[in-house]
Amino acid sequence: MDALTIHEAAQTTGWTPRMLRYIERIGLIEPARRSSGYRQYGPGELQRLRTLRELLTEHQIELGDVAFALRLRRDNQLSGSVDRWLEAEPQRPDAVSADQWLRWEQEKHARIIAALTTNETMETAA
């Protein structure tokens, strides 16, 4: 009986019950149900709820974004189409775009290194 009700789950994860229902509605976390219909949040769901919040705040993304990523992962035809479209990026290295490219590439390094050091400290803490 280590399954929590929606209020309890909300309390221990920092979400509101309303948001837990919303998160379920957009397909991100769908807890099991009792025969009565009550949602049961197990340790797995609780963990995912907490990491979901980290994911959102650390990367400045929103629930809808994660939902779309899920859709991408589940719908191979969709992800194929999107990938194909993105692949066709005509990134010839002419002045401005190459500049921009370089800039975010450099920022990416910065981000990755920042993440590395951050993770190092966080992982030992966690």
Partner DNA sequence: CTAACCTTGACACAGCCGTGATAAGGTTAC
Partner DNA sequence: GTAACCTTATCACGGCTGTGTCAAGGTTAG
Question: Applying CB under 7 A, which residues contact DNA?
Answer: 5-8, 16-19, 21-22, 26, 34-39, 62-64
Closest contact distance (angstroms) between CB of 78 and a second copy is 5
Length in residues, the chain: 126
Quick one: CA torsion of 44, 60, 110, 122, rounded to 10 degrees? Answer: -30
By CB under 8 A, the residues from 28 to 87 that bind a second copy are: 30, 32-33, 42-45, 47-48, 51-52, 55, 58-59, 61, 65-66, 68-70, 72-78, 81-83, 85-86
State yes or no: residue 103 binds a second copy (CB under 8 A): no
Nearer to DNA, 57 or 124 (CB): 57
Quick one: CA torsion of 82, 58, 113, 46, rounded to 10 degrees? Answer: -90
Q: Which does 36 bind (CB under 5 to 8 A by kind): DNA, a second copy, none?
A: DNA
Q: Which does 57 bind (CB under 5 to 8 A by kind): DNA, a second copy, none?
A: none
Nearest to 4 by CA among 41, 46, 49, 33: 41
Closest contact distance (angstroms) between CB of 125 and DNA is 26
DSSP states along 73-118 = HH-HHHHHHHHHHHHT------HHHHHHHHHHHHHHHHHHHHHHHH
